[in-house]
Structure 1
Amino acid sequence: MDRRIDGGAVLERLELEAFLTLAEELHFGRTAERLHVSTGRISQTIKKLERQVGAPLFERTSRDVRLTALGERLRDDLRPAYEQIGAGLAQAIIAARGITGRLAVGYSALWCGDLVIRAAEVFRARYPDCEVRIQEAQLGDPFGPLRAGELDLQLTEFPVREPDITVGPLVFSEPRALMVSAAHPFAARESVSLEDLVDTVLLPMTGNIPDYWLEYHYPSRTPSGRPIPHGAPITYWQEVLAHISVGSGVSVVAARGSAYYTRPGVVFVPFSDAPTIDYGLLWPTAGENARIRAFVNVIHELREQGDPATR
């Protein structure tokens, strides 16, 4: 990336980057670190540029580095063009990688939706030529929209063991709680155990749901092998809340649900011994593409940064 400066001289890429970075950092060592070259290389490059210009661009002392008036002017003249070139190159790379078009992302729980929406904001800013559509995925058919092509990607509960679906890394985990009616004997307790489920009626979900998934989230037996009574299966999550509020049964949920499902007559009691509910990203193996990989990367960047939606 060469640019001509006054008098027909050619500004090489390192000279341009070294000048603009040093103009920002005002420190040769930090400039060298950012550009992954030696401090001596930066010093030589700046001296070469100053010879081309015919005047000093920086004032150097043993204690600090400052731009001269000419250096400030050159910085102000070059920065917009440099940023425009960088933006154009980035867009070309995005187009070459196929990060354009449309991406449909689903989520199963409201707290998953928080993270998906936050990630979509970052994704849209980074890849403006790619449209992102977000929709809730029903627990009664957790993989149907992916298989039908309605969704490209989904943040949802594990475990998932489907031959045609790729399972991404774990995104976050949540402790479990038991949702009970305010009139239920467990409502006044500080915690419950999985063995306590023998004294309840557990309300499971129904639909096109794998048996292994149901057993993990709505177990049929306690760890000691005692059977857990199950009530009539329910298709939609809002129905679960209605049944619990009138005392028809109980249900297992992520403890974070207490901040989202504030319904009169429903109490959340933490489990003392239940495994966590784990959440991760899924996508059809045959449909994997650059858009999906880019969105997955954004999700994991937010997780590494400690974004509140991942806690």
Structure 2
Amino acid sequence: MELRDIEIFLTLAEELHFGRTAERLHLTTARVSQSIKKQERVIGGPLFDRTSRAVSLTSLGKLLRDDLLPAHRQIQRAVDRAAAEARGITGTVRVGYTTPWCADLALQAGRAFSDRYAGCTVLVQEVQFKDMLGPLRRGELDLQLSELPARSPGIADGPVLFREPRALMVPAGHLLARRDSVSLEDLAGVPLIRSDGGLPESLIDLHIPVRTPMGLPIPDGPAYTFWPEIPALVAAGLGASIVAARAARYHARPGIAFVPFRDGPTLDYGVLRLASGQTPPAAAFVELLADLAS
């Protein structure tokens, strides 16, 4: 069996779908089918059961898959290490994040990156909103997973990795907490908790607007220094905060409720980096992040 045929077999064993296998390997469905038939002739038995509705591995196919996978992974790691060395992908990639869902993606990518590029180490750390762009500017980080857009001199952003619907975090006893959804116009009746500095202006407009789309003023709530203060302030009935909808899964606690917005833009999350350029390891890490996010 040639290496390409092994790759086709293992991909089909994972996908169990000829069309998806062809798309993933940038081949035609006919090429995938021909390769599998050739392998079955060489081995002398069927590797897959095929019907009009489903594809499944035979017992012979499962045996071959289990025997081939470790060797194929070892070959792929050897190729990746050689390619990494040729591209200068060695050393340490320092990655920051501002939300727990960005942390999840950064840590997942870090594990995959270290496995793919044995000569690289990935360090992941939290960045506080009070000094959101400071670690990047000071060269303490190579890149950062954060809210976009973060327009600021010397900082480049993109790609966008995922887009989140917004929600309003309100005190559980507030009238808005009883609704199925809220509008941006409803913000005229609730004070928003403010940042005491550190956020780029482009993000302040998204997170802490001062007027509704119709021009009504939005009251000011208390200011926070670190984000964990916000749920406590909301639970105390001192204000509300615009958050990503998935914050309900990460920050639920007594005294607060999360109500989705039915209008307004999404909250976008992606990569921030210095506009002056990035190292080969950092560029490769961004490519991996985009693959995982998609």
Change (3 A) 1:229 1:23: closer
**What does 1:1-311 correspond to in 2, within 5 Å?**
19=2, 21=4, 65-67=41-43, 88-304=78-294
C-alpha separation in 2, matches of 1:211 and 1:82: 49
Instruction: Tell me the equivalent position of 1:50.
Output: none
**Where do 5+ consecutive residues of structure 1 fail to align?**
1-17, 40-60, 69-79, 305-311
Cα 1:204–1:289 change in 2 (3 A) is same
Letter of the structure 1 residue corresponding to residue 199 of structure 2:
I
Deviation digits for residues 105-157 of structure 1 (CA, Å, limit 9, x no counterpart): 11111111111111111111111111100011111221111111111111100
Hey, what's the Cα distance between the residues in 2 that align with 1:187 and 1:62? 62
CA 1:268–1:90 in 2, change beyond 3 Å: closer, same or farther? closer
Tell me how many residue pairs correspond in the alignment: 249
What code does the residue aligned with 1:249 have?
A: G
Gaps of 5+ in 2: 10-17, 31-36, 45-69
Q: What do the CA deviations read for 1:180-211 (whole angstroms, capped 9, x no partner)? A: 11111111111111111111111022222222
Residues 233-280 of structure 1, C-alpha deviation per residue, up to 9 Å, x if partnerless?
211111111110010111110010000002110100111112110111
Aligned residue identity for 1:143 = L
Q: Pick closer, same or farther for the CA change 1:85–1:272 going to 2, 3 Å.
A: closer
C-alpha distance in structure 2 between counterparts of 1:120 and 1:63, whole Å: 36
Q: CA deviation at 1:86?
A: 6.7
Q: Say whether the 8 Å CA contact 1:198–1:226 is kept in structure 2.
A: yes
Distance 1:175 1:65, change over 3 A: same
Q: Give, as a single letter, the amino acid of the residue that structure 2 aligns with 1:158.
A: L
1:192 is paired with a residue whose SS is: coil
Residue in structure 2 matched with residue 55 of structure 1 by the alignment: none
RMSD over aligned CA atoms reads 3.1
* Whole-Å separation in 1 of the counterparts to 2:98 and 2:224: 16
**In the alignment, what sits opposite 1:4?**
none
SS of the aligned residue for 2:228 comes to helix
Seen in structure 2, the aligned counterparts of structure 1 residues 21 and 182 have a Cα distance that, compared at 3 Å, is closer
Q: TM-score, normalised by structure 2?
A: 0.76
* CA displacement, residues 56-91 of structure 1 (integer Å, 9 cap, x when unaligned): xxxxx99952259xxxxxxxxxxx999878755542
Task: Describe the SS at the equivalent of 1:112.
Answer: helix
| Counterpart AA for 1:66 | V
Task: State, as a whole percentage, how many aligned pairs show the same letter.
Answer: 45
Q: TM-score, normalised by structure 1?
A: 0.72
4+ runs of 1 displaced by more than 4 Å? 18-26, 33-36, 61-64, 80-89
Contact 2:222 2:239 in 1 (8 A): no
Within 1, Cα distance between the matches of 2:162 and 2:96?
16
Q: Which residue identity lines up with residue 159 of structure 1 in the other structure?
A: P
